[in-house]
Structure 1
Amino acid sequence: MRFTNLAEMVALCEQEGKPIYELMIDEHVQETGASRETVLQQMTESFDVMMKSVQRGLTEDIKSFSGLTGGDAKRVYEYAQKGKTLLGKQATEAVAMALSTSEVNAAMGLVVATPTAGSCGILPGVLSSLKESLGATEEQLVLGMFTAAAVGYVVANNASISGAGGGCQAEVGSATAMAAAAAVELAGGTPSQAIQAAGLALKNVLGLVCDPVAGLVEIPCIIRNGFGSVLALAGADMALAGVRSVIPPDEVILAMYNIGKQMPVELRETALGGLADTPTGRRLEKQIYGDDTKEA
């Protein structure tokens, strides 16, 4: 890639008069030697998997293997159809679709890691909601995935996308930033506005710990995906309105990396602290694994 950070990426976009997604496609073609058509087809296949996971969680009675989670996506989606939500129908549907994909993941279904399985619901939740609100075509939504991929590439190479490495801020935070940037470009915003959206969204989850109950990617992971979709849309709207992150987005990514390094191991996907170490968290762990687990 010709860029290593978001600022360099935007500079290239502006020099070449391209949106982020076009730059990312070109860079991928150069790196892999694959044709543009092949690259687009591969991303389209990933998009199809995403949309199937969204629909499965909304139409089937999904239950995780542990039995702890499932069904919330349908509940929220049905609630959204009543048209009296506090967030508005679009944002509430985004929540439902993010929950849906995450529930499919917890049930060992097929999902696309964007950037991880633990944060797989945020991007499809946002993209699905934009299909209706913007009237976006499948082709446009696939292009938005390249925008998200570009942001994810920068985060992964300058910080972390791993809950074990940097807490949930690295998973849900990265996915939220990716989805926010994609939403901006799909709405007609500039590359500069897209990275501002990423920075605005990411800095509001800094310090978010990874504390899965019983070590499973279910509680609180699934619910955090739902909230991440709303945060992504909020960041996109703020950036499109002209709001800028006072701390440059690349510095926000660096801050996330440093916070992750300072985070104790108990709060990085070990199920030793946070919500996993509450009385209820330990009770659920014991319920799943038996008497050998420790009490809170």
Structure 2
Amino acid sequence: MRFQSLQQLKELCESERVTMAELMITEQMHESAQPRAAIVKQMSDYYQVMKEAVHKGIHEPVKSRSGLTGGDAKRVHDYMSGGASSLDEAACRALAYALSVSEVNASMGRIIATPTAGSCGIIPGVFVSSQQRFGWSDEHMVNGLFTAGAIGYVIANSSFVSGAEGGCQAEVGSAIGMAAGALTELRGGSPEQALHAVGLALKNCLGLICDPVAGLVEIPCIVRNGFGAVTALAAADMALAGVRSVIPSDEVIGVMLQVGRAMPSQYRETAQGGLAQTPTGQKLAKQWSSPEGEQEG
């Protein structure tokens, strides 16, 4: 790729007068030696999988293999329909959709890792809910996925996106940043505004640990996807309103790397710390690891 930082990505977009999505498509064509149509078709197929996962968790509530989670997406969606939510409909829908995809993942359903399976609900939650709100075409959303991909490429190569390496800030945090930056561009924001959205989003996630109960991508992973989708919406709104990330987004990514390296191993997907080691967390882990628990699950 011709860019290794978000600043370089922004400067290329400005000098060539293209969006981040268009630049990423061009870079993908060069890297893969594939024609544009093939690259766009593949991303379009990914988006269809995302929409299917959103629909499944809402309209066909699924239960995880462990039996510990499932059905919360529909609960939130039904609650929203009753008009009692403190969030507006757009945010509540994004929340429900993100939960939906994460629950499909926990039930061994088909999802797209964006950038990981543990954070798979955030981008679909933000994208599908925004598409419904603004009436955007699938083609427009696919362009947004290329934008998210460009942002994720920088984060992955400058820091990490794995919870085992950097905690949940690396998984959920990266997905929030990708979704926030992409949504900013989808809504007509400039590359500079998109970068501010990424920085604002990531700053709010620094230090977030990865502490899966029983080692499963369920508790607290699923609800963090729901909260993450709402955070991405807020970061995009702040950037579009003119709020700036005083610390440049590339520097925020650098801090995420430093924090992740300093994070004790028990807070990096080992299920040896945090919520996983609470009395209830340990009880659930023992239940799941027992033959009876596995059979029930």
The CA deviation string for residues 172-219 of structure 1, in whole angstroms up to 9 with x for no partner, is 000000000111011110111111101100110100000000000000
- After TM superposition, give the deviation of residue 133 of structure 1 in Å: 1.9
The answer for unaligned runs of 5 or more in structure 2 is 292-297
| Residue pair 1:101, 1:124 contacting (<8 A) in 2 also | yes
| Mapping 1:144-163, distance limit 5 Å | 144-163=144-163
**Which range moves more in the overlay, 207-216 or 134-143?**
134-143
| Corresponding pairs, count | 291
- What is the alpha-carbon distance in structure 2 between the residues aligned to residue 100 and residue 115 of structure 1? 17
Q: Which residue of 2 aligns with 1:113?
A: 113
- What is the alpha-carbon distance in structure 2 between the residues aligned to residue 143 and residue 8 of structure 1? 20
Q: Which residue of 2 aligns with 1:101?
A: 101
The answer for unaligned runs of 5 or more in structure 1 is 292-296
4+ aligned runs moved over 4 Å, structure 1? none
Q: Does 1:200 align with 2:200?
A: yes
- What is the alpha-carbon distance in structure 1 between the residues aligned to residue 72 and residue 195 of structure 2? 31
Q: Residue 239 of structure 1 aligns to which amino acid in structure 2?
A: A
Q: Which residue of 1 aligns with 2:177?
A: 177
**TM-score, structure 1 normalization:** 0.97
Q: Does 1:91 align with 2:113?
A: no
SS in 2 for 1:45: helix
- After TM superposition, give the deviation of residue 290 of structure 1 in Å: 2.4
| Residue pair 1:134, 1:187 contacting (<8 A) in 2 also | no
* RMSD across aligned positions (CA): 0.8
**Which range moves more in the overlay, 131-140 or 103-112?**
131-140
SS in 2 for 1:118: helix
Q: Which residue of 1 aligns with 2:226?
A: 226
Q: Which residue of 1 aligns with 2:42?
A: 42
Q: Which residue of 2 aligns with 1:294?
A: none
Q: Which residue of 1 aligns with 2:248?
A: 248
- What is the alpha-carbon distance in structure 2 between the residues aligned to residue 12 and residue 133 of structure 1? 31
| Residue pair 1:72, 1:99 contacting (<8 A) in 2 also | yes
- After TM superposition, give the deviation of residue 83 of structure 1 in Å: 2.6
| Mapping 1:25-40, distance limit 5 Å | 25-40=25-40
- After TM superposition, give the deviation of residue 80 of structure 1 in Å: 1.3
**TM-score, structure 2 normalization:** 0.97
Q: Residue 15 of structure 1 aligns to which amino acid in structure 2?
A: S
| Residue pair 1:102, 1:121 contacting (<8 A) in 2 also | yes
